[in-house]
Structure 1
């Protein structure tokens, strides 16, 4: 088993299914479990898990925000023009409206977070392998 795989696969929330609906916006494999998707509530809440090396593309949340509650493994979060931050269970990230960012697993660890999201995402370019490989 890979680093933190057991913790992520057997975490507090079910890992969910392979994230096929958003596969075009991720490098590597990820999993998605929708926890709250109520048309009368203007936010979604999901458990998103990443295999080692998996990450989503750069993206922006318009007319909304995203809050990440890290629940397992080790990951990265980066806003455009800033240094990437290494994430561990218990870390919280708040991404404000209009901020270009990405998040995902480290090269050698599984990673999971609860994503609380409002607004409309705009999916952009992938994080390049060269850019990603520079992270320690």
Structure 2
């Protein structure tokens, strides 16, 4: 028999953790719900310039921006600047990255379904191109 899980205050009680290895810059994560039935929910806090590595999700991912301003891009250059109130859907198996702009923090709730595969770092040049595309060179 399954049961309903309630994360009081939007957290599972785990401490905030510095995310390393699959992120560039300072990125902090708050697990919201324990991984269950292929779902993973985290609040992720990016310092200016902080970003994920390239990665994919087996089924997909939804990002809900709750503070600040950032970017999300796939391997083909699709995406753009995101801000408070924006909701982003990333289809399964889409190679992508997301993170803060160079001048603002960003926080989003990330709802991921299915496993994920982490790739290489988003280079400084790739990040600069995203910035220039959205803010002008």
Q: Is the 8 A contact 2:16 2:29 kept in 1?
A: yes
Matches for 1:1-136 after TM superposition, within 5 Å: 17-20=16-19, 23-39=20-36, 41-62=37-58, 64-134=59-129, 135=131, 136=135
Q: Structure 1 CA distance, aligned partners of 2:117 and 2:35? A: 21
Unpaired runs of 5+ in structure 2? Answer: 1-8
Q: Is the 8 A contact 1:51 1:111 kept in 2?
A: yes
For each residue in 1:75-131, what CA deviation from the matched residue of structure 2 results, as whole angstroms up to 9, or x when unmatched?
Answer: 000011124410100001101111000000000100000001111111111111012
Q: Is the 8 A contact 2:64 2:109 kept in 1?
A: yes
Q: 3-state DSSP class of the match of 1:37? A: strand
TM-score (norm 1): 0.81
Which has the larger displacement, 78-87 or 65-74? Answer: 78-87
Unpaired runs of 5+ in structure 1? Answer: 1-11
Q: Is the 8 A contact 1:18 1:29 kept in 2?
A: no
For each residue in 1:48-81, what CA deviation from the matched residue of structure 2 results, as whole angstroms up to 9, or x when unmatched?
Answer: 010000000010112x111000100000000111
How far the C-alpha of 1:45 sits from its partner, in A, is 1.1
Which 4+ stretches in 1 moved above 4 angstroms?
none
Larger CA Rg, structure 1 vs 2: 2
